[in-house]
Amino acid sequence: MLSELAIRNFAIIDDLTIGFGQGMTVMSGETGAGKSIIIQAVNLLLGSRADARMIRQGHSSAEVEALFMPRAGSPAAIAMEKNDIPLDQGLHIRRVLSATGPHKIYINSRMATAQLLGELTEQLASIAGQHAHQRLLDENLHLDMLDDYAGLEKELTQYTESHGKLLQTLREMENLKKKKAKEEAEADFTAFQIREIEEAGPKENEDAELEILRKKLRHAHALGQTIGLVVEQLYEGEDAIAGKLAMLRKEMDKAASLDPSLDTAASDTEALALRCEDLAGHLRQYLDHMEMNPALLDQVESRLHLLAKLKKKYGPELKDVLAHKETLEKRYMEADSMEERMEELKKQRLILYNETLKLARHLSEKRSAAALTMASAVEKELADLCMAGTRFRVALLPLEAGSSPWMKDEKGQGLGEKGSESARFCIAPNVGETENPLSKIASGGELSRTVLALKTILARNEAVSTIVFDEADAGIGGSVAEAVGKKMQSLSSTHQVICITHLAQIAKFGHHHLHIAKAVEGGRTRTRIRLLSKDERPGELARMLGGAAISETTLAHARELLSEAHT
């Protein structure tokens, strides 16, 4: 239940604290005193969007906070436990609106996200105001209300999960079909590419090796001349370096025999002479094996040209060409795996379709039965609200089927996200009239009472403990208003009921009565609220009955109304 509400610098409210008790609390006051602002504040705490324009003029921020005491085992209590919020402290929600920076949310003094706030308050309280009237006229929500009444949360969850898996399977099959068609369309070209690379048989870094060979072949004549000259200078000429080194070697050996300190120098001279002989031998061998081969050069040029074409098409490097070939070969392998996957999906589709169909039938059966009992329950509640003889019907309408045979049942009805039907509330307020959709026939007063009737029957299954009625007295008065008030009082035996009203016939049923007034203080309009005592309540009811001029007659009538409501 809502235990306390505090509002600061919010619209015309500067600082207001309201305590709420169990049972039925009514709030009354003159038009413009701030009653609707209080509802806005509660809505904000339940997760509605914050707007900086709500901040009281002349201030940079506004605060709205409340203390809720969820029942143990309720969805709110379970959500608190899940988020490590102790239940014994209650649920303290505070929202801070800023004119310049981001708005903030605090839950039990810890900063929180809008997502967490929504999770905690989803079934904490319910507001039946203009928005509830609009919801009642929105046929897209009628099926949800029927399911809430029938308690089909488990069945609906099972169906939506199965339906979702079926949809996912159908999408995967469609994507696989498109991919397979694309692969088949490109199969010949893919085979050509693989064949082209295979026939060429490139090896990684082959082009770099061939470039070196080509350069050697292109300059074979110049190489022969240069190496020949070097060999001649080293070994074969009259003044060959090898001959001179041999002479120097002998001379150094003589010197070393005379002075042992020259042994190292003699050894170095010997090594130099031997190295010169080795170098000359290596270069002679190079000349012996070197060939000027124009045919081989042509082959190398041709091979490099082929490799260049491959790199241009599939490169830029030969390693990329080889990687591309591997990718193409994988496509061929994937084609076989796609066939296998498609067969698996076909089996999965059939299983999921049969499961979804079975769950849809089960939902339809439950809904058909619930539609009758719900209609009967609403008619009974409406009779209590001075609408005896009203016929109310929950029409179940088959969904139109799409093009896919897997998204419809054996009767041709579509299988949607919530089953194979939609719902529409129909009403005939007067005897002898034809039932018509609620949105086309209900007057303001009839709509208010229908909202109350639905709230009453849904409250038996709803987990919310607090129900707020705003504008519940729209379009009604007299005995009808009294019936509405009595129904709210009855509802307050199991739920905390908070009602904003202009009618004494409703206000008299409240266990607590809060009076809201506005006054000008220091040149600013301020809203004030106070809990009326037992002695003060007749005066407020008298004002609601007859305006500012309160007579003894209206006071007596007010006392009589209160006596009737609480005896």
Res. 172: pLDDT tops 80: yes
Please determine, for residue 313, whether its predicted confidence score (pLDDT) is greater than 70.
Answer: yes
Tell me: pLDDT of 442 over 80.
no
The DSSP string of 256-271 is: HHH-GGGHHHHHHHHH
Give every CB contact of residue 513 below 8 A, 6+ residues apart in sequence.
25, 26, 27, 28, 507, 531, 532, 537, 540
Report the mean per-residue pLDDT for the chain: 88
Predicted pLDDT of residue 19: 92
Average pLDDT of span 21-46: 88
Token pair in block for residue 10: 């919010």
Average pLDDT over residues 355-369: 96
Give 39-57 pLDDT, tens digit per residue.
889 999 998 889 899 999 8
pLDDT tens-digit map of 505-559: 999 999 999 999 888 877 777 888 889 999 999 999 999 888 777 888 889 999 9
Give me the mean pLDDT over the 239-255 stretch: 84
Domain extent listing, the chain: 1-124+464-531, 537-567
Q: 410 is written with which tokens?
A: 């054996």
Q: What percent of the chain has pLDDT over 70?
A: 98
**Span 319-326, average pLDDT:** 90
pLDDT above 70 (res 131): no
Query: How far apart (Å, rounded) are the C-alpha atoms in residues 328 and 326?
Result: 5
pLDDT given at position 292: 76
pLDDT in tens, 462-484: 667 888 988 777 778 888 889 99
Q: Mean of the pLDDT values across residues 371-398?
A: 93
pLDDT value at 28 more than 80: yes
pLDDT of residue 24: 95
Task: Return the pLDDT at 415.
Answer: 93
Residue 58 structure tokens = 């002349």
Phi, psi for residue 524 in degrees, rounded to 5: -130, 145
pLDDT at residue number 25: 95
- What confidence score (pLDDT) does residue 249 get? 85
445 has pLDDT over 70: yes
Strands 496-500, 391-398: pairing is unpaired
pLDDT at 143 over 80: yes
Question: How far, CA to CA in Å, does 520 sit from each of 13, 241, 523?
Answer: 12, 121, 6
DSSP 181-206: HHHHHTHHHHHHHHHHHHHH---TTH
Whether 450 shows a pLDDT value over 90: the answer reads: no
Please tell me the predicted confidence (pLDDT) of residue 344.
Answer: 93
pLDDT tens digits, one per residue of 189-235: 888 888 888 889 999 889 988 988 888 888 878 888 888 888 888 87
> Strand pairing partners for 498?
25, 468
Q: Which residues pair with 316 in a beta bridge?
A: none
Are 307 and 318 in contact, with CB atoms under 8 Å apart? yes
User: Long-range contact list for 223-226, CB < 8 A, 24+ apart?
Assistant: 223/290, 224/287, 224/290, 224/292
What pLDDT, on a 0 to 100 scale, did the predictor assign at position 259?
Answer: 85
**CATH entry 3.30.499.10 includes domain 1-124+464-531:** no
